[in-house]
Chains A and B, each alone.
Chain A
Amino acid sequence: MKADKTLDCYGLLCPMPIVKAAQEIKKLQVGQVLEVLSTDIGIKSDMPAWCKTTGNEFLSAEESDGEYKVYVKKTIE
Protein backbone atom coordinates (compact mmCIF):
# COMPACT_ATOMS: atom_id res chain seq x y z
CA MET A 1 0.00 0.00 0.00
CA LYS A 2 1.25 3.46 -0.81
CA ALA A 3 1.74 5.84 2.09
CA ASP A 4 2.41 9.56 2.37
CA LYS A 5 4.70 9.13 5.35
CA THR A 6 6.48 6.17 6.92
CA LEU A 7 7.20 5.98 10.64
CA ASP A 8 9.84 3.48 11.69
CA CYS A 9 9.13 2.07 15.14
CA TYR A 10 11.06 -1.17 14.79
CA GLY A 11 12.31 -2.30 18.18
CA LEU A 12 10.06 0.05 20.15
CA LEU A 13 7.59 -1.28 22.69
CA CYS A 14 4.20 0.04 23.78
CA PRO A 15 3.39 2.87 24.23
CA MET A 16 5.97 4.37 21.87
CA PRO A 17 4.63 3.15 18.49
CA ILE A 18 1.17 4.57 19.20
CA VAL A 19 2.44 7.74 20.87
CA LYS A 20 4.78 8.47 17.96
CA ALA A 21 2.13 7.55 15.38
CA ALA A 22 -0.31 9.97 17.03
CA GLN A 23 2.29 12.74 16.89
CA GLU A 24 3.08 12.01 13.21
CA ILE A 25 -0.58 11.97 12.20
CA LYS A 26 -0.95 15.47 13.66
CA LYS A 27 1.54 16.65 11.07
CA LEU A 28 -0.31 15.06 8.14
CA GLN A 29 -3.16 16.55 6.19
CA VAL A 30 -6.64 15.02 6.19
CA GLY A 31 -6.75 12.22 3.63
CA GLN A 32 -3.07 11.34 3.90
CA VAL A 33 -1.89 7.85 4.85
CA LEU A 34 0.67 7.00 7.52
CA GLU A 35 2.61 3.74 7.36
CA VAL A 36 3.86 2.52 10.74
CA LEU A 37 6.59 -0.11 10.87
CA SER A 38 6.62 -2.00 14.13
CA THR A 39 7.87 -5.18 15.77
CA ASP A 40 5.38 -4.81 18.62
CA ILE A 41 2.88 -7.67 18.32
CA GLY A 42 0.24 -5.59 20.11
CA ILE A 43 0.15 -3.11 17.21
CA LYS A 44 -2.34 -5.31 15.37
CA SER A 45 -5.04 -4.49 17.91
CA ASP A 46 -3.61 -1.26 19.36
CA MET A 47 -3.71 0.65 16.09
CA PRO A 48 -7.34 -0.23 15.22
CA ALA A 49 -8.29 0.66 18.82
CA TRP A 50 -6.52 4.01 18.50
CA CYS A 51 -8.29 4.66 15.21
CA LYS A 52 -11.69 3.78 16.66
CA THR A 53 -11.21 6.17 19.59
CA THR A 54 -9.80 9.06 17.58
CA GLY A 55 -12.04 8.69 14.52
CA ASN A 56 -9.24 8.04 12.05
CA GLU A 57 -9.43 5.19 9.57
CA PHE A 58 -7.53 1.94 9.99
CA LEU A 59 -6.71 0.75 6.47
CA SER A 60 -4.79 -2.51 6.77
CA ALA A 61 -2.01 -4.46 8.43
CA GLU A 62 0.69 -6.62 6.82
CA GLU A 63 2.86 -9.03 8.69
CA SER A 64 6.03 -10.84 7.76
CA ASP A 65 8.46 -12.52 10.14
CA GLY A 66 7.51 -10.51 13.20
CA GLU A 67 7.61 -7.21 11.31
CA TYR A 68 4.32 -5.40 11.01
CA LYS A 69 3.28 -2.65 8.65
CA VAL A 70 0.06 -0.90 9.54
CA TYR A 71 -1.66 1.76 7.47
CA VAL A 72 -3.75 4.55 8.91
CA LYS A 73 -5.61 7.30 7.06
CA LYS A 74 -6.07 10.66 8.73
CA THR A 75 -9.76 11.46 8.55
CA ILE A 76 -10.09 13.96 11.38
CA GLU A 77 -8.25 17.24 11.77
Chain B
Amino acid sequence: MTEKSTIVVFSGDLDKVYASFIIATTAASMGREVSMFFTFWGLNVLRKKRFLFGAPNFLQKMFGVLNQGGAERLPLSKFHMFGLGTFFMKFLMKKYQMERITEMLKLSKELNIKIIACTTSIAVMGLKKEDFVPEVDELAGASTYLADAFDGKLNLFI
Protein backbone atom coordinates (compact mmCIF):
# COMPACT_ATOMS: atom_id res chain seq x y z
CA MET B 1 0.00 0.00 0.00
CA THR B 2 1.30 3.44 -0.81
CA GLU B 3 2.48 5.27 2.25
CA LYS B 4 0.71 8.50 3.11
CA SER B 5 2.35 11.85 3.78
CA THR B 6 0.44 14.84 5.09
CA ILE B 7 1.10 18.54 5.37
CA VAL B 8 -1.02 20.99 7.32
CA VAL B 9 -0.71 24.36 5.65
CA PHE B 10 -1.72 26.77 8.41
CA SER B 11 0.37 29.67 7.17
CA GLY B 12 -0.71 31.94 4.37
CA ASP B 13 2.75 33.36 3.80
CA LEU B 14 4.21 33.05 0.31
CA ASP B 15 7.54 31.69 1.51
CA LYS B 16 6.07 29.09 3.84
CA VAL B 17 3.40 28.02 1.38
CA TYR B 18 6.02 27.63 -1.34
CA ALA B 19 8.07 25.37 0.95
CA SER B 20 4.92 23.29 1.52
CA PHE B 21 4.46 22.80 -2.20
CA ILE B 22 8.11 21.91 -2.75
CA ILE B 23 7.95 19.23 -0.09
CA ALA B 24 4.55 17.97 -1.23
CA THR B 25 5.47 17.66 -4.91
CA THR B 26 8.78 16.00 -4.11
CA ALA B 27 7.12 13.54 -1.71
CA ALA B 28 4.60 12.70 -4.45
CA SER B 29 7.49 12.22 -6.90
CA MET B 30 8.99 9.76 -4.43
CA GLY B 31 5.92 7.59 -4.45
CA ARG B 32 3.99 8.88 -1.44
CA GLU B 33 0.26 9.48 -1.38
CA VAL B 34 0.26 13.14 -0.34
CA SER B 35 -2.50 15.28 1.08
CA MET B 36 -2.30 18.96 1.98
CA PHE B 37 -4.74 20.22 4.58
CA PHE B 38 -5.17 23.98 4.22
CA THR B 39 -6.47 25.66 7.33
CA PHE B 40 -6.88 29.24 8.57
CA TRP B 41 -4.42 31.50 6.72
CA GLY B 42 -3.62 28.63 4.38
CA LEU B 43 -7.12 29.00 2.95
CA ASN B 44 -5.95 32.19 1.25
CA VAL B 45 -3.95 30.01 -1.12
CA LEU B 46 -7.11 28.26 -2.28
CA ARG B 47 -9.40 31.28 -2.44
CA LYS B 48 -10.38 33.16 -5.50
CA LYS B 49 -9.32 36.72 -4.97
CA ARG B 50 -12.42 38.66 -4.01
CA PHE B 51 -14.05 40.82 -1.36
CA LEU B 52 -16.46 38.83 0.78
CA PHE B 53 -19.56 40.92 0.19
CA GLY B 54 -21.64 37.79 0.55
CA ALA B 55 -20.35 36.87 4.01
CA PRO B 56 -23.14 36.35 6.57
CA ASN B 57 -21.65 38.60 9.26
CA PHE B 58 -20.47 42.25 9.21
CA LEU B 59 -17.15 41.43 10.89
CA GLN B 60 -16.50 38.80 8.23
CA LYS B 61 -17.25 41.30 5.48
CA MET B 62 -14.82 43.80 7.02
CA PHE B 63 -12.24 41.10 7.42
CA GLY B 64 -12.82 40.13 3.82
CA VAL B 65 -11.76 43.61 2.77
CA LEU B 66 -8.47 43.30 4.61
CA ASN B 67 -7.99 39.68 3.67
CA GLN B 68 -9.02 39.23 0.05
CA GLY B 69 -7.11 36.04 -0.43
CA GLY B 70 -5.83 34.68 -3.71
CA ALA B 71 -2.64 32.71 -4.28
CA GLU B 72 -0.95 35.59 -6.07
CA ARG B 73 -1.36 37.97 -3.12
CA LEU B 74 0.34 36.04 -0.33
CA PRO B 75 2.58 38.11 1.96
CA LEU B 76 6.12 37.22 3.00
CA SER B 77 6.53 35.99 6.55
CA LYS B 78 9.35 38.51 7.07
CA PHE B 79 10.25 41.80 5.38
CA HIS B 80 6.84 42.05 3.80
CA MET B 81 7.34 45.83 3.85
CA PHE B 82 3.69 46.61 3.05
CA GLY B 83 3.81 44.54 -0.13
CA LEU B 84 7.34 45.24 -1.39
CA GLY B 85 8.54 41.94 0.01
CA THR B 86 6.11 39.90 -2.07
CA PHE B 87 6.90 42.02 -5.13
CA PHE B 88 10.65 41.44 -4.74
CA MET B 89 10.22 37.75 -4.02
CA LYS B 90 8.07 37.26 -7.13
CA PHE B 91 10.72 39.09 -9.15
CA LEU B 92 13.40 36.73 -7.85
CA MET B 93 11.21 33.72 -8.44
CA LYS B 94 10.76 34.74 -12.06
CA LYS B 95 14.49 35.30 -12.46
CA TYR B 96 15.26 31.82 -11.19
CA GLN B 97 12.52 30.27 -13.29
CA MET B 98 10.53 29.17 -10.27
CA GLU B 99 6.88 28.35 -10.84
CA ARG B 100 4.28 30.68 -9.37
CA ILE B 101 2.10 29.43 -6.53
CA THR B 102 -0.88 28.88 -8.82
CA GLU B 103 1.34 26.74 -11.08
CA MET B 104 2.59 24.76 -8.09
CA LEU B 105 -1.03 24.12 -7.12
CA LYS B 106 -1.77 22.85 -10.65
CA LEU B 107 1.38 20.71 -10.58
CA SER B 108 0.24 19.23 -7.27
CA LYS B 109 -3.02 18.17 -8.86
CA GLU B 110 -1.13 16.58 -11.77
CA LEU B 111 0.82 14.57 -9.19
CA ASN B 112 -2.44 13.42 -7.54
CA ILE B 113 -1.87 15.37 -4.35
CA LYS B 114 -5.12 15.73 -2.43
CA ILE B 115 -6.02 19.35 -1.66
CA ILE B 116 -8.27 19.68 1.36
CA ALA B 117 -9.79 22.88 2.76
CA CYS B 118 -10.65 23.07 6.45
CA THR B 119 -14.38 23.45 7.10
CA THR B 120 -14.08 25.23 10.44
CA SER B 121 -11.83 27.95 9.03
CA ILE B 122 -14.23 28.29 6.11
CA ALA B 123 -17.16 28.85 8.47
CA VAL B 124 -15.35 31.34 10.71
CA MET B 125 -14.17 33.40 7.76
CA GLY B 126 -17.62 33.38 6.18
CA LEU B 127 -16.48 31.62 3.01
CA LYS B 128 -18.46 29.38 0.69
CA LYS B 129 -17.56 26.57 -1.69
CA GLU B 130 -17.84 28.98 -4.64
CA ASP B 131 -15.08 31.15 -3.18
CA PHE B 132 -12.51 28.43 -3.85
CA VAL B 133 -10.50 27.51 -6.93
CA PRO B 134 -11.39 24.27 -8.75
CA GLU B 135 -8.20 22.55 -7.57
CA VAL B 136 -9.78 21.93 -4.14
CA ASP B 137 -10.72 18.24 -3.82
CA GLU B 138 -12.55 18.23 -0.54
CA LEU B 139 -13.92 20.37 2.26
CA ALA B 140 -13.22 18.40 5.41
CA GLY B 141 -12.24 18.54 9.06
CA ALA B 142 -9.61 17.37 11.50
CA SER B 143 -10.71 13.73 11.46
CA THR B 144 -10.15 13.47 7.73
CA TYR B 145 -6.71 14.98 8.08
CA LEU B 146 -5.80 12.80 11.07
CA ALA B 147 -6.98 9.59 9.46
CA ASP B 148 -4.39 10.22 6.72
CA ALA B 149 -1.77 11.48 9.19
CA PHE B 150 -1.95 8.40 11.42
CA ASP B 151 -1.23 6.27 8.38
CA GLY B 152 2.03 7.87 7.38
CA LYS B 153 5.44 8.81 8.73
CA LEU B 154 5.69 12.33 7.37
CA ASN B 155 3.31 14.83 8.94
CA LEU B 156 4.23 18.48 8.75
CA PHE B 157 2.66 21.61 10.21
CA ILE B 158 3.68 24.64 8.21
Task: Please report A residues at the B interface, Cβ cutoff 8 Å.
Answer: 11-16, 18-19, 21-23, 50, 53-54
Contact = CB atoms under 8 A, between A and B. Distances in A.
Contacts of B83: none
Contact of A13 (B26, B31, B96, B107): B96
Interface size bracket, B side: 10 to 19
Given A15-B22, A15-B26, A54-B30, 20 more contacts: A11-B97, A12-B97, A13-B96, A13-B98, A14-B22, A14-B26, A15-B25, A15-B29, A16-B99, A18-B26, A19-B25, A19-B26, A19-B29, A19-B107, A21-B29, A22-B30, A23-B29, A50-B29, A53-B31, A54-B31
Interface of B: 22, 25-26, 29-31, 96-99, 107, 111
A41 to B, nearest CB: 13
Contacts, number: 30
B21 to A, nearest CB: 8
Nearest to B104: A15
Contacts of A11: 96-97
Nearest to B23: A15
29 contacts: A11-B96, A11-B97, A12-B97, A13-B96, A13-B97, A13-B98, A14-B22, A14-B26, A15-B22, A15-B25, A15-B26, A15-B29, A16-B99, A18-B26, A18-B29, A19-B25, A19-B26, A19-B29, A19-B107, A19-B111, A21-B29, A22-B29, A22-B30, A50-B29, A50-B30, A53-B30, A53-B31, A54-B30, A54-B31
